[in-house]
Chains A and B, each alone.
Chain A
Amino acid sequence: MREKISGLSVKLIASVLLLSVLLCAAISYMGYREFTTVLEDEYNRSAYEIAETAKTYLNPDRLTYYLDTGETDPEYLEIQDKLDALVLSTNSYIIYVTRLSDNYTTSTYIFDSVHPDTGFTRYELGYTAQDMDPAYQEEVEQIMTTGERSAVYFYSYTQASGAHTTAGIPVENSAGEIVAFLGVEKAMTALENARSTYVWNVLGITVLAVALFLVVYIGFLRREVVTPILTIAGEAQRFAEDNVARLDQLEQIRKKDEIGALARVIGKMETDIVQYVENLTAVTAEKERIGAELNVATQIQADMLPRIFPPFPERNEFDIYATMTPAKEVGGDFYDFFLVDEDHLAVVMADVSGKGVPAALFMVIAKTLIKNHAQAGLAPNRVFETVNNQLCENNEAGMFVTAFLGVLELSTGRFTYVNAGHNPPLAALGGEAYDWLPSKRGFVLAGMENVRYRQQEITLRPGDRLFLYTDGVTEALDKDNALYSEARLQAFFNGADLADKTLEEQLALLRGDIAAFAAGADQADDITMLLLKINETDGRDTHG
C-alpha cells in the first residue's frame, strides 16, 4: 500500500489549515482589539488624573499676567518646578499649559514640562506654535467651551516612544472664565509590549494546537479514509484487469460508514459482474450457435432448389429459369422443376406460411412429397390430394403451403395444372399479351384433410411463356407500405421490351423493377420467380 499522502488528504489538510489560519486571525484580532481598548482606557484615565493634579498647582488668575508681561516671578518658577517633578514622578511625557487662539489652531505656551528621556527641551513662556492637530480641533473647541472631557482619546504616535494618549482639560480663573488649556501627554509604552506578547501567545497556542490536531487528523485520515479507499481502488483496478471476483481485501474493511458501504457495494458489483459475464457468455455462445445453424438452414434450403442453368442442356424444346431471393429471415418459398420421364416436365411453385426454421422444415417436407408423388406419374390433382393428406398428419403447428403444380407433355404441349391456394401464374399464349392463367380455386395444402383439387388443362405452343411466382413479388412493399401488386407485375411483362432478352435477363430486369419500387424498404418476404418458355422445334407438331 502506498504510504504517501494522497490527494484527498492534501485537500482535507489544506482545508483544516485554512480554517485554522482564519480562526487564529479572528481570535488574535478580537484579543488585540479588546486588549487595546482596556489599556488605552486605563492610560487615558491616568492621564486625566495627572492633569487634574497639575491643575491644582496652577494659579489661574496669574496666567494671563505671565503671558501679557512675558515675565516670570518666584511663584511661576515654583509652579514650574512642581510640574517638572510631576512629569518625572508620573513618568508622563509632557505636561503643558497653553492659551489657544480663537480658532483653536495656535498655542501660546505658559508652562511646558518635558520628561528628560524625551530628548526635547521645554518651550519657554510665550512660545507660540501652530501645532494643534486639525483632527482634534473640534474636540478641543468642545472642551474649551463646555469644560467637559472629550469622549475620544487624543492619540499620537512617535517613532521614538510609540503610542501616546493626551488628556486635555480647561483651566478656569476665579471668575469661572476658561483662560487656558492644560494637556498631559503620556506614552503608552506598556501597551505595545503587552499587546504584542498577547498576540504572539495567541498565535503560538493556535499554531501548536493546529499542528497537534493535524498530526492526529492525518493519522486518522490515513487509517480511516485514505487507506481503505486505496484498498478499494486497488481492488477495483485488479478486478478490471483480471475479472476475477476476490472479496478477501474488501471484507477486511469492516466499517459501518460510507466507506464500508462502498467496499460492500464494490464487492457485490464484482460478484454480479462475474455472474453477468458468465451468463452473457453462455447466451452469446447459444445465440451464435443458433445463428450459425440458421445460416446452415438457409443454405440447405437454397441448395435444395435446382440452381444449375440450363438444367437439361440436351433438351431444346423449352427454356427455363428460376431464382429465389431470400428475405433476412429464412422463409418457406420454394420452386422446383424436374423431368418426370422423357416426355413430361413438372414445374412447382410454393410458399409455406410463416417464416423461420419451422417454415423451412415444412418446406423441405412439402417439396420432397410433391416431387416423390409427381415422379410416380400421378396426375397433378392426385399429387396434391395425396400430399395434402400426408401433410395434415401430425401438423400440430397448423402450418400450410400454397402451391402450384403443372406438368407439361413435351411432345404435345399439353399442360395439366392444379392450384392449391397459390397466386395464379401469368401466361403469354398464342402471341397475346401476358394474362392470368385461369385457375380453379383450391384450398391450401395441409390446411384440411380430404380436400378435392380440380386440375385444368391448356395447350402450350412454341413461343408461349409462363411466369410462376410467390407473393413476395406482388406484396413487396415500398416505404409507404404500398404493394407492388399484380397490376404492376402484369404491366412490367407487357410494357418492357423483353423479346430479345434471355429468361435470366428478364427475371433480373423484374428484380430491378421491384427493387426500384421498394426504394430501399426492407425485403419482408422471399422473392421467388420461375419463367418457362416453349421453343420452336423441328421434330414436333407445332400446332400451327
Chain B
Amino acid sequence: MTITKNLDNSALRITLEGRLDTNTAPQLEAELKNSLTGVTELDFDFSGLEYISSAGLRVLLAAQKVMNKQGKMTIGHVNETIMEVFEITGFVDILTIV
C-alpha cells in the first residue's frame, strides 16, 4: 500500500493506494499518529484503495474519534467493495462519506 500525504495549513489530505489490511494498517496508524496534531480537516482519498479489512476499519475508527475532538474527517471516492464493507459494519453511520 502507498500513502501520500498533502498538508495545506491545517487541512491534511491522505491518498491511499492498494490494500488496507492487517499487514498495512499499522503503517497508516503510525502515519496518522505523527501527523494529526493541529489538523482540523482530514480528507481521505480512497480512489486507489482496493480493499479494507477489519484492521483498516479500526484505524479509520481511531482517526474518526480523534477528528471528532479537533475538527472533521471525510472519506472520498470510496469504491463499491469498500462501501459494502462500510454498510455491513455500520461504519456508514459514523463516517462522513462524500
Q: Which residues of A contact B (CB under 8 A)?
A: 351-355, 398-400, 402, 420-424, 441-444, 447-448, 451, 471, 475, 481, 483, 524-525
Q: How many residues of B contact A (CB 8 A)?
A: 21
A354-B55, A355-B22 are known contacts. Are A441 and B92 too (CB-CB below 8 A)?
Answer: yes
User: B46 interface residue, CB < 8 Å from A?
Assistant: no
Q: Which residues of B contact A (CB under 8 A)?
A: 19, 21-22, 25, 51, 53-55, 57-58, 61-62, 65, 87-94
CA distance A354 to B23 in the complex (A): 10
Please tell me if the beta carbons of A443 and B53 are within 8 angstroms of each other in the complex: no
Q: A398-B62, A483-B51 are in contact. List 9 more A-B contacts (CB 8 A).
A: A353-B57, A353-B58, A354-B25, A354-B55, A400-B57, A443-B89, A444-B91, A447-B94, A451-B90
CA distance A394 to B29 in the complex (A): 19
A444 CB contacts on chain B under 8 angstroms: 57, 89-91
The main secondary structure of chain B at its interface with chain A is: helix
Name the contact of A422 in the complex, choosing from B22, B51, B62, B88 (C-beta under 8 A): B88
Please tell me if the beta carbons of B57 and A420 are within 8 angstroms of each other in the complex: no
A481 CB contacts on chain B under 8 angstroms: 19
A351-B54, A353-B55, A471-B54 are known contacts. Are A421 and B91 too (CB-CB below 8 A)?
Answer: yes
CA distance A278 to B59 in the complex (A): 39
A422 CB contacts on chain B under 8 angstroms: 88-89
CA distance A399 to B65 in the complex (A): 13
A489 → chain B, closest Cβ, in Å?
14
Please tell me if the beta carbons of B87 and A441 are within 8 angstroms of each other in the complex: yes
Q: Which residue of B lies closest to A331 (CB)?
A: B22
Please tell me if the beta carbons of B93 and A441 are within 8 angstroms of each other in the complex: yes
Q: Which of B62, B88, B89 has the most CB of A within 10 A?
A: B89
CA distance A352 to B89 in the complex (A): 12
Please tell me if the beta carbons of B54 and A353 are within 8 angstroms of each other in the complex: yes
Please tell me if the beta carbons of B22 and A354 are within 8 angstroms of each other in the complex: yes
Please tell me if the beta carbons of A423 and B88 are within 8 angstroms of each other in the complex: yes
CA distance A38 to B87 in the complex (A): 116
CA distance A448 to B91 in the complex (A): 11
Q: Which residue of A lies closest to B93 (CB)?
A: A443
Q: Which residue of A lies closest to B65 (CB)?
A: A398
CA distance A441 to B87 in the complex (A): 7
Please tell me if the beta carbons of A442 and B58 are within 8 angstroms of each other in the complex: no
B82 → chain A, closest Cβ, in Å?
12
Q: Which residue of A lies closest to B56 (CB)?
A: A353
Please tell me if the beta carbons of A442 and B90 are within 8 angstroms of each other in the complex: yes
B51 CB contacts on chain A under 8 angstroms: 483
Q: Which residue of B lies closest to A401 (CB)?
A: B54
Name the contact of B61 in the complex, choosing from A351, A400, A423 (C-beta under 8 A): A400
Please tell me if the beta carbons of A402 and B89 are within 8 angstroms of each other in the complex: yes
B21 CB contacts on chain A under 8 angstroms: 524
Please tell me if the beta carbons of A355 and B55 are within 8 angstroms of each other in the complex: yes
Name the contact of B94 in the complex, choosing from A398, A402, A448 (C-beta under 8 A): A448
Write 9 A-B pairs (CB below 8 A) sorted by A numbering. A398-B58, A398-B61, A402-B89, A421-B91, A422-B88, A444-B90, A448-B94, A471-B53, A524-B22
CA distance A418 to B55 in the complex (A): 23
A442 CB contacts on chain B under 8 angstroms: 90
CA distance A483 to B88 in the complex (A): 17
B90 CB contacts on chain A under 8 angstroms: 420-421, 441-444, 447, 451
Q: Which residue of B lies closest to A329 (CB)?
A: B22
Please tell me if the beta carbons of A447 and B55 are within 8 angstroms of each other in the complex: no
Please tell me if the beta carbons of B88 and A424 are within 8 angstroms of each other in the complex: yes
Please tell me if the beta carbons of B58 and A354 are within 8 angstroms of each other in the complex: yes
B95 → chain A, closest Cβ, in Å?
10
A441 → chain B, closest Cβ, in Å?
5
Q: Which 9 residue pairs spanning A and B have beta carbons closest together?
A: A421-B89, A443-B90, A353-B54, A353-B58, A398-B62, A421-B90, A354-B55, A441-B90, A442-B90
Name the contact of A443 in the complex, choosing from B55, B58, B91 (C-beta under 8 A): B91
CA distance A139 to B89 in the complex (A): 121
Name the contact of A421 in the complex, choosing from B25, B53, B55, B88 (C-beta under 8 A): B88
Q: Which of B54, B58, B61, B90 has the most CB of A within 10 A?
A: B54
A423-B88, A441-B92 are known contacts. Are A399 and B53 too (CB-CB below 8 A)?
Answer: no
B74 → chain A, closest Cβ, in Å?
18
B92 CB contacts on chain A under 8 angstroms: 441
Please tell me if the beta carbons of B57 and A443 are within 8 angstroms of each other in the complex: no
B93 CB contacts on chain A under 8 angstroms: 441, 443
CA distance A483 to B51 in the complex (A): 10
Please tell me if the beta carbons of A400 and B58 are within 8 angstroms of each other in the complex: yes
CA distance A451 to B61 in the complex (A): 14
CA distance A423 to B93 in the complex (A): 16
